Amino acid sequence: MSVLIVGSTALDSIKTPKAENPRLLGGSASHAAVAASFFSPVKLIGVVGEDFPKNYVDLFRRHKIDLSGLQIQPGKTFHWSGEYEVNMNNRRTLLTELGVFENFTPHLPEAHKKSQFVLLANIAPALQHHVLDQMKKPKFVVADTMDLWLNIALADLVQLLKRIDGFVLNDSEAHQLTKEDNVFAALKKIHRMGPKYVIIKKGSHGSILSSPRGFFICPAYPLHNVCDPTGAGDSFVGGMMGYLAAAKGTVDANIRRAMIYGSVVASFCCEGFGLNSTTKARRADIEKRVKELEKLTKF
Ligand code: AMP
């Protein structure tokens, strides 16, 4: 089965203590789509401007990503710029130029409306609602978010939580949403807001799932060198959704392993700027890291 992914398709200018790279292919949907494409066919919903480089379209095509829902509009592609501190965990946004993103309304081609697995990657909650409004009985819908929407679109986000199966957010966002310092208390509160599956990401410390089958602690793959963590969260959830769409059996039976695959794809993302390292990974490389994680967590 395929995964439908909506989110941002961006040009990212990224500064780390060691290097600076302008106008890389980025955006939540781009990272998630490439990650999911290792496991299942992907349909991308987004918008880019006329300045969007052809080689980035070619990259999506090499990953066999269906671009019939990608709008190309007059104007500039969404441009985001961020700078990392020496520890590579703290990041500040330097610039956000919305461009064609400002008036984006996601339109789903007829064939996309029956998609069973839907990932509402980081984008304004109103647009996430708009995609769901067009869907016909999806089987499993997961949403991601960011602190910006908790600050400026909380009411929309809270409404969205009632309509989705799974919600993925990082630990500081979980704290902001629930005012709970304890991650397990935060998970409980978020369940009460709607989603059956809640995943709190803790960066290089992995993630925690709370689900009808209980908790699962998912490790991050141990990396000695992080080049650029931009998009790691999107790669994690994209990889997880791609794996789930391809797997036989229930979501409950597969979600833990799906998280491990997501975690491994995220590790490749961190090893290069933008999507440079993710796109070089092969399925065999992913399987090797999954086996390593299995060994590391067995006792
Ligand atoms: P992450 O590192 O997982 O937080 O995701 C970073 C990605 O989010 C970058 O590729 C950005 O292009 C994208 N991004 C940054 N700001 C926004 C925003 N306001 N809406 C949607 N995507 C954004």
Using the predicted structure, report yes or no on whether residue 43 has a pLDDT greater than 90. yes
Residue nearest ligand 1's atom 9 by CA: 27
- Report the pLDDT value the prediction gives residue 103, as an integer from 0 to 100: 95
What pLDDT, on a 0 to 100 scale, did the predictor assign at position 285? 98
- Across the beta sheet with 166-170, the strand order is 65-73, 42-49, 3-6, 117-120, 140-144, 166-170, 197-201, 207-211, 214-218
CB atoms within 10 A of CB 136: 10
The reported pLDDT for the residue numbered 206 is 98
Nearest C-alpha to atom 6 of ligand 1 is from which residue?
Answer: 231
Average pLDDT of the chain, as a whole number: 97
Q: What is the pLDDT of residue 33?
A: 99
Summarised one tens digit per residue, pLDDT across range 17-36 is 999 999 999 999 999 999 99
CA gap 256, 202 in Å, rounded: 16
Q: Which residues lie with the beta carbon below 6 Å from any ligand 1 atom? A: 8, 10, 12, 26-28, 80, 96, 122-123, 148, 230-234
Q: What is the pLDDT of residue 78?
A: 98
pLDDT at 117: 98
Residue 57 reports pLDDT greater than 90: yes
Residue 89 has pLDDT above 90, yes or no: no
Q: Whose CA is nearest to atom 21 of ligand 1?
A: 123
Nearest CA to ligand 1 atom 10: 27
Q: How far is the CA of 74 from the centre of ligand 1 (A)?
A: 22
Confidence of residue 115 (pLDDT cuts 50, 70, 90): very high
Measure the CA–CA gap between 119 and 46, rounded to whole angstroms.
Answer: 12
Asked if residue 149 has pLDDT above 90, the reply is yes
Global confidence as pTM: 0.97
Cα of 261 from ligand 1 centre, angstroms: 21
**CA atoms of 256 and 92, how far apart (whole Å):** 31
pLDDT at 271 (0 to 100): 98
Write the residue with the smallest CA distance to atom 14 of ligand 1. Answer: 27
* Mean pLDDT on 249-255: 97
Q: Which is the closest atom of ligand 1 to the Cα of 11?
A: 12
User: Which residue has a Cα nearest atom 5 of ligand 1?
Assistant: 231
Give yes or no for residue 133 having a pLDDT over 90: yes
For residue 60, report the distance from its CA to the centre of ligand 1, in Å. 18
Per residue in 158-212, pLDDT tens?
A: 999 999 999 999 999 999 999 999 999 999 999 999 999 999 999 999 999 999 9
Q: Which 3 state secondary structure label does DSSP give 57?
A: helix
Best residue among 5, 92, 146 to mutate for probing ligand 1, ranked by most atoms within 8 Å of CB: 146
- For residue 146, the ligand 1 atom closest to its alpha carbon is 4
How many Å lie between the centroid of ligand 1 and the Cα of residue 252? 29
Per-residue model confidence as pLDDT tens digits over 98-111: 999 999 999 999 99
Confirm if 148 and 140 have CB atoms less than 8 A apart. Answer: no
Which residue CA neighbors atom 16 of ligand 1 most closely? 80
